[in-house]
Amino acid sequence: MSQPAQGRQTGGGERVLILSAGVGSGHNSAAAALREACDVRADVADVQVLDVLQTSSALYRDVLGKGYFVLVENVPWLVEWGYDASDPPYRRRGPIDPWTRVNALPVIGAIKQFRPTAIVCTHFLPAQLVASLLLHGVIDAKTAVVSTDYDFQGLWLTGAFHALFVAREEARVELAAFGLPADRIAAAGIPIAAQLNAEPRRESDEPPMLLISAGASGSDDAVAVVRQTLHMRTPFTATVVCGRNVALRQRIEQLVAPAGDRYRVLGFTPEMPLLMRRADLFVGKPGGLSASECMAAGLPMVLVDPIPGQEIRNGDYLMEQGAAVRCNTAATIGWKIDEVLREPGRLQRMQAAAKRTGRPDAAADVLASLLGGASRPLVVSRAAQKSILASSERRVIASDVTGPSSLVRLIDETAGSTIALVQTEELGGLQKRYGASNDGLVLRHNASPASPQREERRLIRAVLRGDDLLPVRIERLSGPGQIVPA
Paired with 20 in beta bridges are: 51
β-strand partners of 139: none
User: What average pLDDT does the segment 58-81 reach?
Assistant: 73
The arithmetic mean of pLDDT across residues 368-383, rounded, is: 95
* Model confidence pLDDT, tens digit, residues 10-37: 557 999 999 999 887 789 999 999 999 9
Per-residue pLDDT tens over the stretch 306-316: 888 899 999 99
pLDDT on residue 104: 80
- What is the C-alpha separation between 121 and 366, in angstroms, rounded? 11
| Helix runs in 327-401, H state only | 333-342, 346-357, 362-371, 382-394
Residue 435 to residues 40, 407, 470, Cα–Cα distance (Å): 46, 18, 12
The answer to whether the CB of 379 falls within 8 A of the CB of 361 is: no
Torsion of CA 413, 415, 417, 423, to 10 degrees: -30
Q: Are the C-beta atoms of residues 55 and 151 closer than 8 Å to each other?
A: no
pTM of the model: 0.90
Q: Exposed, middle or buried: residue 194 (CB in 10 Å: 0-12, 13-18, 19+)?
A: middle
Residue 421 clears pLDDT 90, i.e. is over it? yes
- Residue 173 has φ and ψ, to the nearest 5°, of -65, -40
The neighbour count for residue 457, using CB atoms within 10 Å, is 15
Question: CB atoms < 10 A from the CB of 432, how many?
Answer: 12
Short-list 216, 206, 226, 355, CA closest to 272: 216
* Amino acid type, 274: L
**342 φ, ψ (degrees, to nearest 5):** -90, -20
Above 80 in pLDDT, residue 338?
yes
Residue predicted with more confidence, 454 or 117: 117
- Which residues lie below 8 Å from residue 103, measured CB to CB, with a gap of 6+? 56, 57, 60
**Could you give the C-alpha distances from 59 to 22, 100, 110, 362, in angstroms and in order?**
14, 12, 20, 34
**Spatial strand order in the sheet of 281-284:** 263-266, 237-241, 209-213, 281-284, 301-304, 324-327
**Do the Cβ atoms of 111 and 139 come closer than 8 Å?**
yes
Contact 146, 16 (CB under 8 A): no
pLDDT tens digits along 430-463: 998 898 877 899 999 875 555 557 788 888 989 9
Residue 375 has what DSSP assignment? S
Alpha carbon dihedral 71, 76, 81, 83, in 10-degree steps, equals 70
Would you say residue 483 has pLDDT above 70?
no
DSSP label at 206? S
The pLDDT score that the predictor gives to residue 94 is: 53
Query: What is the pLDDT, as a whole number, of residue 481?
Result: 42
Q: Give the model's pLDDT for residue 270.
A: 86
CA distance 150 to 475: 30
In the prediction, which pLDDT does 3 show? Answer: 42
- Full DSSP string of 422-455: EEHHHHHHHHHHHB-TTSSEEEETT-SSSPPPHH
**Average pLDDT in the chain:** 87
Residue 164 in this model has a pLDDT that exceeds 90: yes
Residue 68 burial class via C-beta count within 10 angstroms: exposed 0-12, middle 13-18, buried 19 and up:
middle
